Amino acid sequence: MPNLKIDNVNKFYGDVHAVKDLSIDVPAGEFVVLVGPSGCGKSTLLRSIAGLEEISDGDIVLGDRSIANLAPRDRNIAMVFQSYALYPYLSVYENIAFGLRARKASDDEIKKQVDWASELLDIGDYLKRFPRELSGGQRQRVAIGRAIVRNADLFLFDEPLSNLDAKLRDGMREEIKRLHTKLGKTFVYVTHDQIEAMTLADRIVLLRDGVIEQIGAPLDLFERPKNIFVAGFLGSPPMNFMDVDVTEHGTSMALPDGQILSLAGTKISGKIKDGAYTWGVRSEHLSKITETKNTVRAVIDVLQPTGSRTYGTFFLGDCHVVSELEAHDVSKEGEILHLAVAIDRTSFFDPETGSAINS
Amino acid sequence: MITSNSFADKLDQERWFKYFLIAPAVFIILLIGLYPFVKLILVSFQNITMFDNELSYQGFIHYERLFDDDRLWESILHTIIFTAVALPIELILGFLLALLFLERIPYKQVFVGIILLPTVISPIVAGATWKLMFDQRFGPINQVIAWFAGHEVKLLWNIEPALVWPAIMVAEVWQWTPFMFLILLAALSNVDREQLEAAQIDGASWWMTFRKIVLPAIMPVMFIALLIRGLDLFRVFDVVWTMTKGGPGTMTETISIYAYHMAFREFDVSYSAAIAFLIILILTVIVVAALRRMEVSR
């Protein structure tokens, strides 16, 4: 099974530079998720790999052959589309068999493959039906079945879950991950949903404006974001950002509303220059304690219980901050809390460039 | 009690009011649709000749005449052959043109507009123009052929039995292919792009993609276009009339021209009514069969 190498790929649409000098190495068998806000170039890149878009510059190499100038049919790639793109006038069986028929497989071979795929995806009961008679989730399974029956070198997924309702999406996410393990093939998956990216990927490629912001394992990106954009994109609720002033040789900092937190005893203590920073704190790293020493004093503005956890919103100066509390930590809005901060798990960013400060 | 009564009255009033509203439309439809049809059937059982006032019931004499009228059956045969040749040509040319216009073409709308021009022209004018085009002495067609042939040609497009049908066919195809083109272009543009892309990735050939995805998708629209054009072709009159008047002899006489001839040249009004009824019968059978097929394909 070949690896995928995207080598300095550029894509222009007229004057618009959609993909900028992008390079990614995908080892064989890896599950890579391209994620980013809309217009970041992720779909363009995926379609370029499939051969549905021509790249303006650079190369795409699958194994030892360049596929950049091949027709889609000659790339031996399978793809699952957002709209499923099932063939409406063919039965489920014929939909799945389509690629095999196109490649002149024998009827026996086709039957074997379709049976295998339909059993794997649990769609054996619908083989005689037509796509319009299926629910969204069933259609998506058929679309996946159509992709996997061909012995493709590479599987592409273009936002395959975004047309499904939330509950179905969770189930399908798990199945796609299981499918990857079973098939052991290389998957390239595009989504705008950071949860999908986090849960599915071996490696996330986070894109913005046609450029890679960061590439790495999900928890790597989550815990060690390279910049404010990455930090803010991953995680729900999103990371809280506030402007802080570090003083006293990096041992103390002032929050936007004037409260002082000591950095003594943390990893960053003394290793950071005095000055202004953007401080990123995830809501789960703010927790209620009874002590008042070296805590953030918060007047809870809005409470949002979700059952297991409760989101408490408060303001530090002008800064809107969300903390993730135990369900019964707060009973009503307006309560005053003292929150301990897991400073070692927070991030400091240069307020000018947005880059993370390495401690 | 009073309230419930007045409520019932009001309902009643409303019920009548809606019939009152649609009455004019129903009346007009009956007037222009049903009345002529009934009148036609009545006339076909009389013997109106424009020369006397005899209006008595004559039974099926005109319908019996239909079966012995060789000229009638010949004109029907002409009509069927004409339709059977022109329709596929228009379909295929229109389809190829539509395929061409699916590609990105600069100023596409302008070109589509230009291509559509022939359909905008009145068929009478188109026929008259083509008659001049095919004129053996002054017409540009013979002139262009002469350039290729390298010597003067005197092809008698409006008289020569072997040439007269092709000439009419050219005029007809020229005028109505754009109609097919427009409808098929609309249908083809609506074929789901992701399905075509999926087929590309699946490795389907052009032919397989066309047969399994494109054709079924455009089939309903194509079918309607074929039906409309088929009916048009079956009752073709203007182009033939202006170019040949059915001649030479009765060589290019279509059923419409024959019916016109019997009614307004021979003044055999009741017989032409019987012919008209026959045409209606044939077209009804075609339309019903076509619509039934469409139901099945749905």
- pLDDT in the model for residue A45: 92
The pLDDT assigned to B153 comes to 78
Residues B52 and B32 in one domain: no
Of A105, A180, A92, nearest in space to A143 by CA: A92
Instruction: Check whether residue B72 and residue B186 sit in a common domain.
Output: yes
Q: What digits encode the pLDDT tens for the residues B161-200? A: 888 899 999 999 999 999 999 999 999 999 999 999 999 9
What SS3 state is found at A282?
coil
Q: Are residues B208 and B85 in the same domain?
A: yes
pLDDT in tens, B47-58: 877 777 777 777
Residue B65 — very low, low, confident or very high, per pLDDT cuts 50/70/90?
Answer: confident
Please indicate, yes or no, whether residues B202 and B228 belong to a single structural domain of this protein: yes
Q: What is the DSSP letter of B29?
A: H
**Confidence band for B157, pLDDT divided at 50, 70 and 90:** confident
List chain A residues with CB under 8 Å of B200. 51-52, 71-73
A267 touches chain B (CB under 8 A): no
- Kindly state the DSSP code that residue A41 receives in the 8-state scheme: S
- End-to-end Cα, chain A, rounded Å: 40
Its ipTM equals: 0.83
Q: Give me the residues of B, 189-218, that contact A with CB < 8 A.
A: 192, 194-195, 197-205, 208, 212-213, 216-217
Query: Quick one: angle between helices B193-202 and A92-102, nearest 10?
Result: 50
Do β-strands A186-191 and A154-158 pair in parallel, antiparallel, or remain unpaired? parallel
What is the share, in percent, of chain A residues with pLDDT greater than 70? 100
List the beta bridge partners of residue B15: none
Please, what's the b/e burial string for B166-180 (b: 16 or more CB within 10 A of its CB; e: otherwise)? ebbebbbbbbbbbbb
Domain identity same for B286 and B243 = yes
User: What's the mean per-residue pLDDT of chain B?
Assistant: 87
Give the integer Cα–Cα distance in Å for A310 and A305. 4
Both B26 and B102 in one domain: the answer is no
Nearest to B204 among A77, A78, A102 (CB): A102
Task: Work out the burial of residue B30: count CB atoms within 10 Å of its CB; fewer than 13 is exposed, 13-18 middle, 19 or more buried.
Answer: exposed
Nearest to B203 among A83, A88, A102 (CB): A102
Q: Compute the half-sphere exposure of residue A194: CA atoms within 13 Å on the CB side of its CA.
A: 19
Q: What are the helix (H) ranges across B30-160? A: 35-44, 61-68, 70-100, 108-120, 123-133, 140-149
Give the residue from A47, A45, A63 showing the smallest Cα distance to A4. A63
Over 70: is that where the pLDDT of B4 sits? no
Can you give the pLDDT at residue B291?
Answer: 85
pLDDT of residue B156: 80
CB atoms under 10 Å from CB of A54, counted, come to 10
Residues of chain B above pLDDT 70, percent = 97
Q: Tell whether B67 and B204 lie within a shared domain.
A: yes
Those of residues 193-222 in A touching chain B at CB distance below 8 A are: none
Q: Name the residue facing B216 among A81, A89, A99 (closest C-beta).
A: A89
Q: What is the mean pLDDT of residues B150-158?
A: 80
Q: Please give the pLDDT value at position A359.
A: 57
The span from the CA of A326 to the CA of A282, in Å, is 15
Indicate the SS3 state at residue A72: helix
Looking at the structure, tell me whether residues B152 and B236 fall in a common domain.
yes
A71 touches chain B (CB under 8 A): yes
Q: Name the pairing type of β-strands A65-66 and A57-62.
A: antiparallel
Same domain, B19 and B127: no
Tokens of A315: 């303001």
Same domain flag for B255 and B116: yes
Tell me: the pLDDT tens digits for A327-344?
888 888 888 889 999 998
B200-259: per-residue pLDDT in tens? 999 999 999 999 999 999 998 999 999 999 999 998 999 999 988 887 888 889 999 998
Work out the minimum CA distance from A69 to partner chain B, whole angstroms: 14
> How far off is chain B from A83, nearest CA to CA, in Å?
8
Cβ contacts from A onto B, under 8 A = 68
The two tokens of residue A44 are 């363009």
Residue A315 near residue A244, CB atoms below 8 Å: no
Q: Given CB atoms, is A146 within the 8 Å cutoff of chain B?
A: yes
pTM of the model: 0.80
User: Residue B235's closest CA among B271, B190, B284, B187?
Assistant: B284
Same domain, B31 and B50: no
Domain span at residue B201 reads 45-297
Q: State phi, psi for B238 to the nearest 5 degrees.
A: -55, -55
Give pLDDT tens digits for A195-252: 999 999 999 999 999 999 999 999 999 999 999 999 999 988 899 999 999 988 888 8
Number of domains in chain B: 2
Closest to A85 (Cβ–Cβ): which among B192, B203, B216? Answer: B192
Say if A88 is an interface residue toward chain B (CB within 8 Å). yes
pLDDT(B297) > 70: no
Percent of chain B having pLDDT more than 90? 45
Give yes or no: residues B29 and B89 share one domain. Answer: no
The Cα–Cα gap between A38 and A161 comes to: 16
In this structure, of A19-23, B145-149, B262-266, B291-295, the range with the lowest mean pLDDT score is B291-295
CATH code for the domain of B233: 1.10.3720.10
